[in-house]
A and B are shown apart, each in its own frame.
Chain A
Amino acid sequence: MSLLSVQDMKTDIGQYAVLHGVSFEVPEGGVFVLLGRNGAGKTTTLRSIMGLWTPSPGSVVFNGQDITRMHTADIARKGIAYVPENMGIFGTLTVDENLILATESGRFDKARLARIHELFPALERFRDKQAWSLSGGQKQMLSVARAIIEPRALILIDEPTKGLAPSIVGAMAEAFREIAQTTTILLVEQNFNFARSLGRDMAVIDDGRVVHAGSMEAFAADTALQDKHLGLSA
C-alpha cells in the first residue's frame, strides 16, 4: 500500500482551473520526485495535498485515511510536513524559535536537535539570530530542519535548490539522503540533476495532469522521454 495516494485531483484557483485531474501514488520510504515545466501545476499539487488549496473533485489518501477536505493544521498533525518554495520561515523569530514552534510539546528533543545541528551546523552557530538575517541557503536549511524537528511520515518539499549556490545544493542533497532513510520525501524540483541523484520514483506533471510516472532510473536513462516531457535536450 502506498503512503500517499492522490486520485483525480482537480484544483481551481479563483476562476482558473490549474489541476485537471492529477493522480499518482507515493510509496513509503525514499524520495519521490514531481518534475515538470514552470506553471505545470507542481506547487499547486503540493498545496492541494496540504489543504492550502481545496481540491474540488478527487481524493487525497494518506496512510489509509482520506484527508481531502481536512483543515491544513489537521493534515499537518497527521504527520505531513511542508517546506514551501518561499521557505516560509518566520523572519522576526530566532532560529531556535522557528524550530521550537514546530515541536508539539514546545520543548526540544535533545537527540533530534543534535541530529539537526549535525546536518546543518550553521543552525547551531546562529541559534539566537533572527531568521531574516540568515543567508538564502541557511534559510532553506532552517525550513527543512523545521520539517524534521518532530518525527514525520512524509515531507513535502517545493523546489529547495532554487537560487542556491552549487556548494549549498550539494550539502542539501546529502541532508535529504539522510532524512530519506527514516522519512518519505515528496520533492518538487526543476533541477533535474539534483532530482535524479535523489529520486527513486517519479512523476511528470504537465498542464495540470500527470503525463508520466515510473522509476527515476528508467526516466534518467531515456533521453527521448526527458526531451518529450521536460524539453531537457532542447
Chain B
Amino acid sequence: MSTLTTTLGRIGGVNLLPFAVAAVAFLLIGAPSSWVTLTIAGLAMGMMLFLMASGLSLVFGLMDVLNFGHSAFVSFGAFVSATVLAGLGGWLAADSWALNALALAAAYLAAISFGLVAGWFFETVIIRPVYRDHLRQILITIGAMIVAEQTILAFWGGTPFSVGRPHFLEGSWIIGDVSIEIYRAFAFALGAAVFVMLYLVLNRTRIGLLIRAGVENREMVEALGFRVDRLFIGVFMLGSALAALGGAMWAGYETLITPHLGSELMIVVFIVVIIGGLGSIEGTLLGAILVGLMANYVGFLAPKLALASNMILMVAILLWRPNGLRPAVK
C-alpha cells in the first residue's frame, strides 16, 4: 500500500484525481464529443468556483474565521457587473472586439472594486469584533448574508435579472463534431490566469511568504514581528474581490440571476474549500476542478444525482484524507 502511495506521489499524487475522474467519465459517456463538451463545461465551472472559494479558504486558514457571508460578495459581484453591462449595452452588442472587451473589463473592474471596498467594510465592522469566537462568527456572518440578500432585493428587485454577454463571447467553436462554448473557454482561461497570478504572489513574494506562514502558525508569525491582523485585512479584501469577480463571471455564464445566487452557490463553494484543504490555493483549485467536472459528468449521466454527487465526493475524500486533498498545514 505504501509503495503504491509513493509511486502515485511521484507521478503527481492527488493532482491526478481530475484526470482519473475524466477517464472514468470518458468510458461511461462513450461519445467523445459529448465528453469534450462536458469536460470544458466542468473546467469552466471549476475555475469560477475556484475564484469564489480561494478567498474563503485563505481567510479561514489565516485567521480561523468562518465567513458564511462570503456569498454576499458573489451576489453583489454578479449584480454590479450585470448593471454595468446593462448600462454599456451598446458596446456589448457592437461588432467591435475592442468595445466588447472594454464593456466586459469595466463590468469586472466594477465588481472587483466593489468587492475590495465591501471586503474592507465587512472585515472592519462585522468580522473584527468576533475574532476567535466561531459561534458568534457563524451567527453574525449568516445575519450579514441575509441583510446583503435583502439589500440586493431592495435595489434590483426579485425578478430574475438578465445579464448581457459581449458579442465576441457569444456562440461556440465547432471542431469536428465537438462544440465548445466560447464563454466557457474564456471563463476557464481567465480563472487559470488568476490562479497563476495568485500562485506567483503566494510563492514568489514576501507578502505571499507571510500569508503562507500565517496560515500555518499565525502566532509564530506575530512573534517574528509581523502584524497578522493587518495582513488579514488585505487577504480578506482580496478574497472578497475574487469572490465578486467569480460572481460576475458566473452571471455571464448563467445569463439570468437572482438575489439568491450567492447563497445557492455557497454550499458548493464550502465543499470545494473542504475538499481542497483549508488555506491552500492549490488545494482549492483541485477541489474546484473536481467539483466542476463531477457536477457536469453526473448531470449528464444521472441528472437526479447531480446535486448529491458533490456531497458524496466530499464524504469520500474526507474519509480518505480528513484534512482535505492538499491542506496548507502538514
State the A residues within 8 Å of B (CB): 50, 52, 71-73, 76-77, 81-82, 84, 88, 90-93, 97, 100-102, 104, 106, 130, 132, 146
Q: Which of A77, A84, A91 is within 8 Å of B216, CB to CB?
A: A91
B219 with A88: CB separation less than 8 A:
yes
Q: When chains A and B are docked, how far (Å) is the Cα of A104 from the Cα of B226? A: 10
Candidate in A71, A76, A100 with the most chain B CB atoms within 10 angstroms:
A76
Q: A71-B222, A84-B220, A88-B219 are in contact. Are A93 and B213 (CB under 8 A)?
A: yes
B223 with A92: CB separation less than 8 A:
no
B223 with A76: CB separation less than 8 A:
yes
Closest B residue to A106 using CB positions: B206
Q: Which of B219, B222, B227, B329 is within 8 Å of A92, CB to CB?
A: B329
Q: When chains A and B are docked, how far (Å) is the Cα of A178 from the Cα of B141? A: 52
State the B residues within 8 Å of A (CB): 206, 209-210, 212-213, 216-217, 219-228, 328-330
Q: Which of B209, B216, B222, B329 is within 8 Å of A76, CB to CB?
A: B222
Q: Which of A72, A76, A90, A102 is within 8 Å of B212, CB to CB?
A: A90
Q: Which of B209, B223, B225, B227 is within 8 Å of A93, CB to CB?
A: B209
Q: When chains A and B are docked, how far (Å) is the Cα of A50 from the Cα of B210? A: 20
Pairs A-B, 4 closest by C-beta atoms: A76-B225, A88-B220, A72-B222, A132-B330
Q: Which of B210, B227, B228, B328 is within 8 Å of A101, CB to CB?
A: B210
User: A101 to chain B: which residues have CB within 8 Å?
Assistant: 209-210, 213, 221, 224
A90 with B216: CB separation less than 8 A:
yes
Q: When chains A and B are docked, how far (Å) is the Cα of A97 from the Cα of B220? A: 14
Q: A101-B209, A132-B330 are in contact. Are A90 and B222 (CB under 8 A)?
A: no
Q: When chains A and B are docked, how far (Å) is the Cα of A76 from the Cα of B223? A: 6
Q: When chains A and B are docked, how far (Å) is the Cα of A106 from the Cα of B224? A: 12
A82 with B330: CB separation less than 8 A:
no
Q: When chains A and B are docked, how far (Å) is the Cα of A76 from the Cα of B212? A: 20
